[in-house]
Structure 1
Amino acid sequence: MTKHIVILQGHPDTEGSHFCHGLAMSYADGARAAGHAVELFEVGAMDFPLLRKKSEWDSGEVLPQLARVRAAIEAADQLVVVFPLWLGDMPAVLKAFFEQVLRPGQGGTTPPTRGRRCAARVVVTMGMPATLYRWYFWAHSLRSLRRNLFGFVGIKPVRITLVGSIEAIGPARRGRWLAHLHALGRAAG
């Protein structure tokens, strides 16, 4: 069954040389190879303001530069989000992006995906070992993302892939991670 997949590459640095970029592209390549429709967005390359007032959250219009992304998310069967762990959470620009595109918009309409099925795959790279983040820190930011953000708009299930000790892994292990994301993309999982 062909799926519509939206990939959000959330590394703020747009140079494209970070492992997050490679992981997002591997997933996209795998999904396209399996015949899925794929839209990939570089969040760090988008220009949008921070939400600063409750009135902006409640009824501010969806910004023209984000309308296409919001429409893609509304139509998606699978949302893939790739980002590095910064200070124990997603980078600020990615959080600000989600505040813009997942809020009610244009007179208080419901957030995208509410009332329809959309699954998510979240891929997080980090400097610490993934097991340390998951068990010692309880993956607190991912729990919040799953419950408070994706749960708010009805995105479920949310599957998590953690890539730990990113600075210490060599080319062979990076290759295995890229192959794994390619396989996940083929399966739209």
Structure 2
Amino acid sequence: MSETICIIDGHPHRDKNHLCHALAEAYKAGAKAAGHKVKTLCLSEMDINFLRDPADFEKPASADILKAQKAVSAASHVVVIYPLWMGAMPALVKAFFEQLARGGFALKESEHGWPLKMLKGKSARVIVTMGMPAAAYKIFFGAHGVKSLENGILGMAGFKPVRETLIGGVGELSDKRAGALFGRCRALGAKAS
């Protein structure tokens, strides 16, 4: 069955030689080869400001964010790819999700004060690259930075299931391992998983 996928390439730097950009392209290639529709949002190319006033959540979003809301709304599956910076997502990725939530797009307050999940029915995959071994990040650091995205942002907005792929040791990536990672991302793309 064909899916509509939105890939959020969250590497903040535009240089296409970064691993996250290549992983996004591999996922996209696998998805397209399997007949899925794919839209990629490259955050490094978007105009994303930081919200400073909680009232801004209710104000209209920028043109780039409106396009992103349209792409996420149309998708049945969303993939978020970013490098681990200081134990969590880069500030640009967090700023993007804050902007994306504007205007009640991701959450709306119910009459009881508990947020309504506006993006129910969508699944997500979070792919995170890091210099340390992925097992060390999970065991010694509890992977709290990734969990904040998975539970506090995606889960609260209604995404289910939210799966993760943690890729450690990327500082010394051999060509063989890089090829295996790209193959893994192509396979995930083909399955829209």
Q: Could you say which TM-score interval applies, normalised by the shorter chain?
A: over 0.9
CA distance in 1: counterparts of 2:190 and 2:14, whole angstroms: 25
| Number of residue-to-residue matches in the alignment | 184
* Residue ranges of structure 1 left out of the alignment (5+ in a row): none
1:165 aligns with 2:174: no
Alignment of 1:151-162 (within 5 A): 151-162=155-166
User: TM-score normalised to the size of structure 1?
Assistant: 0.94
- Which residue does 1:16 correspond to in 2? 16
Runs (4+) of structure 1 exceeding 3 A deviation are none
Change (3 A) 1:65 1:126: same
- Which residue does 2:124 correspond to in 1? 120
- Which residue does 1:130 correspond to in 2? 134
Shift of 1:23: 0.4
Q: Which amino acid aligns with 2:6?
A: V
Shift of 1:115: 5.4
RMSD between aligned alpha carbons? 1.3
1:111 aligns with 2:110: no
Deviations 1:44-94, CA, capped at 9 Å, x for gaps: 11112210101102x111211211111110121100011000000011011
* Residue ranges of structure 2 left out of the alignment (5+ in a row): 108-116
- Which residue does 2:52 correspond to in 1? 52
User: TM-score normalised to the size of structure 2?
Assistant: 0.92
CA distance in 2: counterparts of 1:6 and 1:13, whole angstroms: 20
Q: Percent identity?
A: 40
Shift of 1:143: 1.3
Q: Which amino acid aligns with 2:127?
A: V
